[in-house]
Amino acid sequence: MSAQKNILLLGSGFVAEPCLEYLQRSGNNRVTVACRGIEKAQELASKYQNATAISLDVENDAALEAAVAAHDLTISLIPYTQHARVIKAAIKAKKHVVTTSYISPAMQELDAAAREAGIVCMNEIGLDPGIDHLYALKIINEVRDQGGKILSFESFCGGLPAPEASNNPLGYKFSWSARGVLLALRNNARYWQDGKLVEIQGKDLMDSARPIFIYPAFALVGYGNRDSSHYRERYNIPHAETCVRGSLRYQGFPEFAKTLVNMGFLDDTPRETLSAANTADLPWNKVSQLLLGHSSDNSDELLKLIEAKIDTQDPEIRKRIIHGIKWLGITSPKVMASKRGTYLDVLCARLEDLMMYGEGERDMIILQHKFEVENKDGSHNTRTSVTLMYGEPNGFSAMAKTVGVPCAIATQLILDGKLTATGIVAPMTPDIYQSIMDLLPSEGINAVEETL
């Protein structure tokens, strides 16, 4: 019988439970769920026999170091800005770490120290990043091994409501805070397209959205996700004239989102009028009046001002947007706004009121890699890889499972001595990604490949 392994799980968010559930299947694992507020940790740990809860403030270095040292491996599912702190504690204790986040410069700086300590710091092992790496590199390395070249690489991924749950004007729902989704609308995008480096400013990101065909059942559009230009080097596909990684949304989302951007709703400057200290009622028509700088809070006048902020000239989409604005109630004198301090956060509160997943509703994740390939004999073809997964009604969401389970698989493989690459690593080489990928189908996670 294998020796008992002690795992420290930092965070109890929606991704944590699928991760914990997987690790509990081995009777040898003991998991400590750690959060600043012990109530959330206790709520999660109480569901599983070999789990306990502790209160831990990760900004208390002494407490963090003691907790990390008391376990064989730490899984960090807390905000990425804290990962370097966790890794430093792990290096000091010579204990392994797993995160699902991109490797930040602050984390990369610890590579030499992690190697010297002989520890595995596995990162980017969720969905995006994570599963996307596994299935992309599988095909890239197959093509290279057969003497071919990747001439174009496009990868688009989205966490969306299942079609039957996409029943609002944005075609989108939230599992948690809307703030991160809205802030992502401000991100710049950078990628290679037909041999040219394309740079898109955040204010123009929604205008760059284009149709992405995966299956006829889905009306999807995609736009660039931050800087994917370096993936030519990272994936070692130097001949790729196009190299882009992007986000998927349902048709109509970009135009609606761009209207909210044009109105000024991404402004996160604190405003006294919007603060909780303001004891006066704050109807939504007053919020929109202040945001638009209009002299009147009349709903019809505000709607006309908003209509002028709609960029698209497509009459049907314009109608949909106006319908959506009315549905949101942001010009209504009867709907009260939550005083969250900024226009961004006041909007977030309204979206969360209207667009959270309801009981029994399913989410879905969809990921497509598309490659244009030149084969060794000079012939050309298109290869695709599609991962499509639905959440379980009143169970694990697809997003939670596709982030939490790969993380747990990597954790178990490290504890079993099957993943041994030390330093700050990601699943970029076959010795790492193949063993993880082999275990995904039994969890209902796979990719359907096609050559056209």
pLDDT tens by residue, 316-344 = 999 999 999 999 999 999 999 999 999 99
Confidence of residue 108 (pLDDT cuts 50, 70, 90): very high
Given a cut of 70, is residue 420 above it in pLDDT?
A: yes
* pLDDT given at position 5: 95
Given a cut of 90, is residue 71 above it in pLDDT?
A: yes
Query: What is the helix (H) or strand (E) element at residue 212, kind and residue range?
Result: strand 210-212
* pLDDT given at position 288: 96
What span, in angstroms and rounded, lies between the C-alpha atoms of 210 and 29? 46
Q: Kindly report the pTM of this predicted structure.
A: 0.92
pLDDT in tens, 271-282: 999 998 888 889
The stretch 98-108 carries a mean pLDDT of: 95
Average model confidence (pLDDT) across the chain: 95
Given a cut of 60, is residue 240 above it in pLDDT?
A: yes
* pLDDT given at position 184: 86
Q: What percent of the chain has pLDDT over 70?
A: 100
Confidence of residue 405 (pLDDT cuts 50, 70, 90): very high
What span, in angstroms and rounded, lies between the C-alpha atoms of 335 and 324? 15
Question: Can you read off the two tokens belonging to residue 380?
Answer: 């050309």
Question: Can you read off the two tokens belonging to residue 74?
Answer: 């730490």
Q: What DSSP string describes 280-327?
A: S--BHHHHHHHHHT-S---HHHHHHHHHTT-----HHHHHHHHHHHHH
Largest interatomic CA distance in the chain: 75
Given a cut of 60, is residue 1 above it in pLDDT?
A: no
Omega before 270 cis (within 30°)? no
pLDDT in tens, 356-366: 999 999 999 99
pLDDT in tens, 284-309: 999 999 999 999 999 999 999 999 99
Show which residues are catalytic. 128
* pLDDT given at position 219: 96
What span, in angstroms and rounded, lies between the C-alpha atoms of 218 and 97? 38
The stretch 97-126 carries a mean pLDDT of: 96
* pLDDT given at position 175: 77
Cβ neighbour number for residue 246 with a 10 Å cutoff: 23
**Radius of gyration for the alpha carbons in the chain, expressed in angstroms and rounded:** 23
Report the interhelical angle of 398-415 vs 131-145 (nearest 10°).
Answer: 70
What span, in angstroms and rounded, lies between the C-alpha atoms of 77 and 92? 20
Confidence of residue 406 (pLDDT cuts 50, 70, 90): very high
The stretch 73-86 carries a mean pLDDT of: 94
Question: Can you read off the two tokens belonging to residue 3?
Answer: 């020796």
Question: Can you read off the two tokens belonging to residue 107?
Answer: 């984390």
